[in-house]
Amino acid sequence: MNLVVPQSDPKAGYLTHQSEIDEAIRQTLDSGWYILGKQVAAFEQAFAAYVGVGNCVGVANGTDAIVLALRACGIGAGDAVVTVSHTAVATVAAIDLAGAEPLMVDIDPATFTISPQAIEDAIKNYRGSSKIKAIIAVHLYGHPAEMTAIGELARRYELKVVEDCAQAHGAKLGERRVGSIGDVAAFSFYPTKNLGALGDGGAVATNDAALAERLRLLREYGWRERYVSEIAGMNSRLDEVQAALLRVKLKYLDSENERRRQIAAAYDEGLKASGLVLPKCVGDISHVYHQYVVRSGERDVLKDRLREKGIGGLVHYPVPVHRQPAYRHRASAALPITEQAAREVLSLPMFPQLTDEQVAQVIQALL
């Protein structure tokens, strides 16, 4: 029996466009310029245009992208940032790394994204509400967060909005792509992302030119003039080879996201009578299905039975961040919807190279 794996092997995306990627990498190696050269500049320009913003700053990874976004907004020690616990730990780790305090709130049960009501409750009930300076809205699994309501809260309470777009390259709210809605946005190009490199990579996107200039200083030691640190920065640079590869893969992102939607539609139709809780698209959004996540009260039993039938499944995420040893001291409120999700969610195989036959195999195994 052929195993249907839960996520694509990074080689799959490479091999799909191998000749173009090989040529782009060859040109980069022949140039002899490997850090912050023409390939990074060209990718930054192309990705900014794709997202619909004026500025993109390539960085080393998605975690650094959030750290730098917060620091560029002037957020650090003594500040608090509202976000979710049902997310990759990188979201919360980045707040810590920026020197701020993560304030984790609950999610919407239908979309798994941050609950605007929970944000407002946290602002009203937090012991030092004046310390809250920003909201990180995670567009989880490829579904955009409720940015209209989040934006209204941010204006009312004078907060910055950072979009965590690591799982939502190309997703839209109305006609706007995620990454163009908040004050600043962080992207990851980890190999399994919808737009993935063959190693680590990240970017920060913004329409604020002054913020972008500060980001460029922060990513390279605070240098405007080489070897002279104007501000205290760090070393977080997207390398030329990864930028060359990403420029090629960016051309195919929309078509690959469309394939993800086709697979999701097949799952929707095939599993509608399964008794599983299937993902929903809430509002005027375009979902890009970084993951196709179902819910079951007997998730672990289901996962084991799928494995017996040659179907891989993953749990994103089995332990909420506020329950993990490193962050238990950060827990400030009960998060019942988050904790229920952690017990019930299961990610089915989802990547553009899945064949129709493999999708049918997954559906049949679940039924």
From residue 133, how far is each of 26, 100, 140 by CA, in Å?
45, 10, 22
pLDDT at residue 168 tops 70? yes
CA distance 47 to 113: 24
- CA-nearest of 287, 188, 311, 205 to 242 is 188
Which domains does the chain carry?
10-104+112-250 (3.40.640.10), 253-366 (3.90.1150.10)
Mean pLDDT of 90-105: 97
Mean pLDDT of 170-188: 98
* pLDDT confidence band for 2 (50 / 70 / 90): low
- Residue 6 has what pLDDT? 79
pLDDT at residue 267 tops 80? yes
pLDDT at residue 3 tops 70? no
* pLDDT confidence band for 299 (50 / 70 / 90): very high
Residue 41 in 3-state DSSP? Answer: helix
Region of residue 105 (left: phi > 0; alpha: psi -120 to 50; beta: else): beta
* pLDDT confidence band for 4 (50 / 70 / 90): confident
CA distance 163 to 173: 13
What whole-number percentage of the chain has pLDDT above 90? 91
Is residue 249 within 8 Å of residue 25, measured between CB atoms? no
- CA-nearest of 292, 294, 295 to 261 is 292
- Residue 350 has what pLDDT? 97
Cis peptide bond upstream of 317, omega within 30 = yes
Q: Which residue has the higher pLDDT, 349 or 125?
A: 349
What pLDDT digit, counting tens, does each position of 53-76 carry?
Answer: 999 999 999 999 999 999 999 999
Burial of 203 (0-12, 13-18, 19+ CB in 10 A): buried
* pLDDT confidence band for 1 (50 / 70 / 90): very low
- Residue 14 has what pLDDT? 66
Q: How many CB atoms lie within 10 A of CB 298?
A: 10
- Residue 127 has what pLDDT? 72
Half-sphere exposure of 19 (CA within 13 A, CB side): 0
Is residue 281 within 8 Å of residue 137, measured between CB atoms? no
